[in-house]
Amino acid sequence: MSVDIAQNLKNIKDQIEFSRVESLMASERVSLIAVSKTKPVEDVLSAYEAGHRIFGENKVQEAQKKFKDIGQKRREIELHLIGPLQTNKAKEAIETFDVIQTIDRPKLVKALAKEIEKQERNPELYIQVNTGEEQQKAGVLPEDLKDLLALCRDQDLSITGLMCIPPVNEEPSLHFSFLSKLAQENDLPNLSMGMSNDFDLAVRFGATHVRVGSGIFGARDYSA
């Protein structure tokens, strides 16, 4: 079954705009992050040919390889890390990504600060918040957010946004409105929330970035 990536991108951008103009809480601009994890470089190129320039990956090594394979076009692309990051991959992460959305603990803050200084790179940095306080999930607990932001300031890391992944069995709007409130309280302009199933809702609650994978590239096959 073939997937029409260009058509999917167009439909989703139309839906984002539809939700955006309908809500008073919506951001003036919403960026669509095309999540290409598990998908081949050909799919990234199809989206690129359709004019898309913002991509997301959840694994450092996979992203490194895929976005090296696209050559010169990489310069025009904004690449986001949206998956958990181990401190021993901080170096590669800083080399590879333009935006890192998954900062969630002091050790990682320190490792990234060191690499950013060493490589003289200037990625945008968001903190992931575990809004559902789920034990197995990455992200800082809401009650620890202020301390982590203070540590980032101490380490000269400029945080510009928050990201969340709501628990699967809960109403996502509660999490979206909560994350939006936390961002406002802490003066953070960017809000990364919403995926294929709920991006329109996230837009209504003020998302500046939505992360859509299967809605653009088709279902992922993890059995291969």
Ligand X SMILES: *Cc1c(COP(=O)(O)O)cnc(C)c1O
Residues that bind ligand X (CB under 6 A): 35, 37, 58, 82-83, 165, 195-196, 211-215
Q: How far is the CB of 164 from ligand X (least distance, A)?
A: 9
- Which helix (H) or strand (E) segment holds residue 109: the answer is helix 106-119
SS3 156: coil
Q: How far is the CB of 89 from ligand X (least distance, A)?
A: 16
Q: What is the DSSP letter of 97?
A: -
Q: How far is the CB of 111 from ligand X (least distance, A)?
A: 20
User: Which is nearest to 101 in space by CA: 196, 25, 170, 195?
Assistant: 195
**Residue with Cβ nearer ligand X (37 or 114):** 37
**Residue with Cβ nearer ligand X (12 or 149):** 12
**Residue with Cβ nearer ligand X (113 or 165):** 165
Beta bridge partners of 124: 99
CB atoms within 10 A of CB 60: 21
Instruction: Give ∠ CA 138-94-41 in degrees, rounded to 5.
Output: 85
**Residue with Cβ nearer ligand X (23 or 214):** 214
